[in-house]
Chain A
Amino acid sequence: MEKELRLMKGNEAFAEAVIRAGADGYFGYPITPQSEVMEYLMAEKPEERTGMIVLQAESEVASINMLYGGAGCGKRVLTSSSSPGISLMQEGISYLAGAELPCLIMNAARGGPGLGTIQPGQADYFQSVKGGGHGDYRIIVIAPASVQEMYDSAKIGFDLAFKYRTPVLVLTDGATGQMMEKVYIGEQHPRLTEEEIKEKYPWATTGKSGGRERNIITSLDLDPYRHEKHNIKLQEKYKTIEENEVVYEEINIEDADFAIVAYGTTSRICQKTMQLAHEKGIKLGIFRLISLWPFPKKEIRELSKKVKGILCVEMSAGQMVEDVRLNSVDGAHIQHYGRMGGVIPSPTEIFDFFEKNYIKD
């Protein structure tokens, strides 16, 4: 079957994709620069297409707790927001992780801290990968870098969420959310029926039908020893995810003398920087993180052995660079270049920084 081709914003592509991924419900509260997600869903009326519910909640806190309820019933539910709104959701995300509930969360990040700005930012890396909420938990974080990847992230995200019973965060930013590119629209995956949910997700609270124990969805256990066991189980799950779900892209890394490590919008900008370097005969490659957590620890270590220098580029004061340093061999030459507060770095300014700091004479 030939796939349908459309010109869409990243936010719109994500919204169409969640319908097609068979989502049961979207719960959100508007905030720039991702308001097109709910706007698109409201206009598209997915309840008429697949029966999917779209609800504007009274707040971000309400939205994330609606996900808790929906996910507890085994439904494919999601929300989207931007940085300040995602901060409000952190308590709920910790509860969802603790109760092992699958859900999809999209953050079209903007410059912070606080209310910050509506322009793009990547300063939510720490919050996303180190757990913005309390407790020993991790969530899978994937970082698309094109409108097509925004589309693809919906199905990938839901599948991972249910495979591991965990929240999955799609971390993008205002630039990729607002940008239009062409996107291939995939097939419509049907929503699961109640019977299918009962069969596939025996943990879900679907109504007790004779013969089985009660399913209890909670993150509370007052017995510390039992609760430690639960924590150990969670940590084992995170280890399995780290072993199996690392995703990255290498661009001209094979014969590179130097490498840029970046993700999302900046990884696109750096591809132009790479072209500028190639024009000057400098072998510069790009290592693009796609899964931010799990982090490609082994691959970054190998990269740090292989190249003469690594430049980390982020729209932040330097967050991902800490994980790159942590996983690199001792003595590796690693620097950070970033802009903050909603400023997008240009390919040429990144190249100028690179040339000045990595290419001597």
Chain B
Amino acid sequence: MTEEIIIAGFGGQGVLSMGKILAYSGIMQDQEVSWMPSYGPEMRGGTANVTVILSDERISSPILTHYDTAIILNQQSMDKFESSVKPGGILLYDPNGISHHPERTDINIFQVEANAEAAKLGLMKIFNMIVLGGYMKVKPIVKLENVIKGLKKSLPERYHHMIPDNEKAITTGMGIVKQIREV
């Protein structure tokens, strides 16, 4: 199994850290992982994206043009990456701030209203974890227990008290994700 993912949005939305948590989770379940960020000047206040690959085999290219899954968190990223989802693949997005919704009919499209939900909970910091929950529901590759293990390993101990909030955010995301187009 190899899963090739692009996560794209604004700098500050937690795009890179969400990718990092996915990569850590992959390690926790004995997979090969790679995490390749965009590190250009566009990161400062602009768009940010990261390519994450989880695989049972040695990973070849960490840089890709087509993805099994695209997780899209702003309009610029939708414009850039909608066409890069492999036919039959998954596009998961937060409709907040999206004016041109995806039009492809050969991919599975899901929405997760993570921004609205995070605002409702008054916890904007866990926005990305709600999105991650949505992803974990539609593509159950990483197990929740491994995500939690990954968080414990990647976060300094002084932040471990926030792990329950993150876990809650993931289960929330799993609950609110909805499919809007099926191949």
- A347 to B66, alpha carbons, bound, how many Å? 10
Contact between A178 and B39, CB atoms less than 8 A apart: yes
Does A329 make an interface contact (CB < 8 A)?
Answer: no
Contact between B60 and A275, CB atoms less than 8 A apart: yes
* Residues on B with beta carbons closer than 8 Å to the beta carbon of A346: 63-65
Known A5-B27, A7-B23, A182-B27; contact A33-B39, beta-carbon cutoff 8 A: yes
- A49 to B41, alpha carbons, bound, how many Å? 35
Contact of A7 among B33, B39, B62 (CB under 8 A): B33
Contact between B60 and A268, CB atoms less than 8 A apart: yes
User: 1/0 per residue A157-179: CB within 8 Å of B?
Assistant: 00000000000000000110011
Contact between A7 and B60, CB atoms less than 8 A apart: no
In the assembled complex, the CB of A57 is this many whole angstroms from the nearest CB of chain B, namely 24
Interface residues of B in 60-80 (CB under 8 A from A): 60-66
User: 1/0 per residue A76-105: CB within 8 Å of B?
Assistant: 000000000000000000000000000000
Q: How many residues of B contact A (CB 8 A)?
A: 22
- A311 to B39, alpha carbons, bound, how many Å? 29
Known A7-B24, A180-B34; contact A175-B61, beta-carbon cutoff 8 A: no
Does B164 make an interface contact (CB < 8 A)?
Answer: no
Contact of B23 among A5, A180, A272 (CB under 8 A): A180
- A271 to B61, alpha carbons, bound, how many Å? 6
Closest to A177 in B: B39
- A270 to B34, alpha carbons, bound, how many Å? 16
Known A275-B60, A346-B63; contact A7-B35, beta-carbon cutoff 8 A: yes
* Residues on B with beta carbons closer than 8 Å to the beta carbon of A5: 27
Contact between A269 and B61, CB atoms less than 8 A apart: yes
Does B32 make an interface contact (CB < 8 A)?
Answer: yes
* Residues on A with beta carbons closer than 8 Å to the beta carbon of B66: 348
Does A321 make an interface contact (CB < 8 A)?
Answer: no
Closest to B23 in A: A7
In the assembled complex, the CB of A3 is this many whole angstroms from the nearest CB of chain B, namely 13
Contact between B62 and A175, CB atoms less than 8 A apart: yes
Chain A interface size band reads 20 to 34
Contact of B39 among A118, A269, A273, A349 (CB under 8 A): A118
* Residues on A with beta carbons closer than 8 Å to the beta carbon of B34: 179-181
- A223 to B23, alpha carbons, bound, how many Å? 60
Residue with the greatest number of chain B CB neighbours at <10 A, chosen from A272, A348, A349? A272
Contact of A180 among B35, B40, B63 (CB under 8 A): B35
In the assembled complex, the CB of B52 is this many whole angstroms from the nearest CB of chain A, namely 9
In the assembled complex, the CB of A267 is this many whole angstroms from the nearest CB of chain B, namely 10
Closest to B31 in A: A182
In the assembled complex, the CB of B117 is this many whole angstroms from the nearest CB of chain A, namely 28
In the assembled complex, the CB of A150 is this many whole angstroms from the nearest CB of chain B, namely 13
In the assembled complex, the CB of B45 is this many whole angstroms from the nearest CB of chain A, namely 16
Contact of B62 among A118, A179, A274, A349 (CB under 8 A): A179
Closest to B60 in A: A271
Contact between A272 and B36, CB atoms less than 8 A apart: no
Contact between A269 and B27, CB atoms less than 8 A apart: no
In the assembled complex, the CB of B173 is this many whole angstroms from the nearest CB of chain A, namely 22
Known A180-B34, A182-B33, A347-B65; contact A118-B40, beta-carbon cutoff 8 A: yes
* Residues on B with beta carbons closer than 8 Å to the beta carbon of A271: 60-61
Contact between B35 and A181, CB atoms less than 8 A apart: yes
Interface residues of A in 275-299 (CB under 8 A from B): 275
Contact between A178 and B36, CB atoms less than 8 A apart: yes
In the assembled complex, the CB of B62 is this many whole angstroms from the nearest CB of chain A, namely 5
Does A344 make an interface contact (CB < 8 A)?
Answer: yes
Interface residues of B in 11-52 (CB under 8 A from A): 20, 23-24, 27, 32-37, 39-41
Does B154 make an interface contact (CB < 8 A)?
Answer: yes
Does A205 make an interface contact (CB < 8 A)?
Answer: no
Interface residues of B (CB under 8 A from A): 20, 23-24, 27, 32-37, 39-41, 59-66, 154
Sort A-B residue pairs by CB-CB distance and give the 10 closest, nearest first.
Answer: A271-B60, A272-B61, A180-B35, A346-B65, A269-B61, A272-B60, A179-B36, A178-B39, A181-B34, A347-B61
